[in-house]
Every structure is written in structure tokens, then in C-alpha cells.
Amino acid sequence: MTAGRRLIVVVVLVGLLLGTFVHYGANGPRRGYPSPGSIDAEYDAHVGETVFLLAEVAEIDDGSATLRVRGTGSPYELRAVGLAPPITPGALIQVYGELGADRTVAVSNAVVVNPSRTAELTKYGLSALGAALALALFFWYWRVDLASLGFEVRRDG
């Protein structure tokens, strides 16, 4: 395949990929729970519904916690009851439960995604290390060949 044809294929595939970004955003699959933005904007309409939220634990009191819910809009706070320890302030958690009156969610299940900001940063650091490892090994075995406008195996690779 000539370089020109490869370029055309790249343009077509990039177009398709961008199309999936828009399609997923507009008509893609949904989890079937009310969105965080919709909960915040029309809270009373969602009371009694099952929700699935991503939230940061802001405070913990006796048997309940203040959650800072993350979504597409600005974060907002909800009260969570029934959270099982160990969950500490600053943790990022998934919450599954039922929305009650007075901006409260009765938690059926929660998963701690990041127990702390340090854990989150460690995860990103390890991911950066993984990317660096993959790229370093790739260019150990492969090189850019200007004549063929593509990657070629290094002869000494």
C-alpha cells in the first residue's frame, strides 16, 4: 500500500474514531441511572430512584458521610447513610443506592476507587511508568524509516 493510500486510511479511521466520541456522547449506551447533573438539577423528581454515583468523601460523622458528587457539572454535596468502613475523608468512591428526601442517599454498596489522593497519584505515576516502558521497548526494537515512511525493525533489534 502506498503512503498516500495509508494516509487516506488514517484520515478515514480518525474520522470514524471521532464519530464514535460524538455518537457515544449523544446516543451511546447508558447505565440506566439518573445522571449526576440531572439529580442536582431536579432532585425531588429522582427521590426513590436507584443511583450510581462517583463521589469524594468530604466528611464522616456517626454512621453517615458527606459526599461531593462528581459529574459533568459542578460538584455538589449529598449525605450518605449506610456506608461501611473503612472509608476515610478524601477517598474517591462509587456509590450504589437509593435516593431519599433531603439530599440523602441510602447506600446499598460502595467501592473505594482511590482511598486517598496519594493513592490516585501513585496510580497515575505507575501508568506513566508503563507508558514509558512500552515506548522505550518499542523504540529499542523499531525505528522510523524515512524511505518507507513507517516503522521498520532495527537490524540490530
Partner 1 sequence: MADLLAHVLVAYAVLTVVGWRLDWLDQQWVVVGMCGAAIPDLGKVNLVVHESTIRSALGVPFTYAPLATIGGVVLVAGIVTQLFAHDRRRVFGLLVAGGGLSLLGDALRAYADGHSEFFLYPVLYWRPPTPSLYVSSDLWVTAVAIGVAVVVFAVDRYVA
Q: Tell me: does residue 85 bind partner 1 (CB under 8 A).
A: no
Of 44 and 110, CB closest to partner 1: 110
What does the block give as the cell for 17?
474514531
The least CB distance from residue 111 to partner 1, in Å, is: 5
As a whole number of angstroms, the distance between CA 94 and CA 58 comes to 14
Decide if 120 contacts 111 (C-beta within 8 A): no
Q: Which of 80, 83, 95, 105 binds partner 1 (CB under 8 A)?
A: 95
As a whole number of angstroms, the distance between CA 56 and CA 67 comes to 6
69, burial (CB in 10 Å: exposed 0-12, middle 13-18, buried 19+): buried
- Site for partner 1, rule CB under 8 A: 1, 6-7, 9-10, 13-14, 16-17, 20-26, 28-29, 31, 52, 72, 93-96, 109-115, 119-120, 122-124, 126-131, 133-135, 137-138, 140-142, 145, 148-153, 157
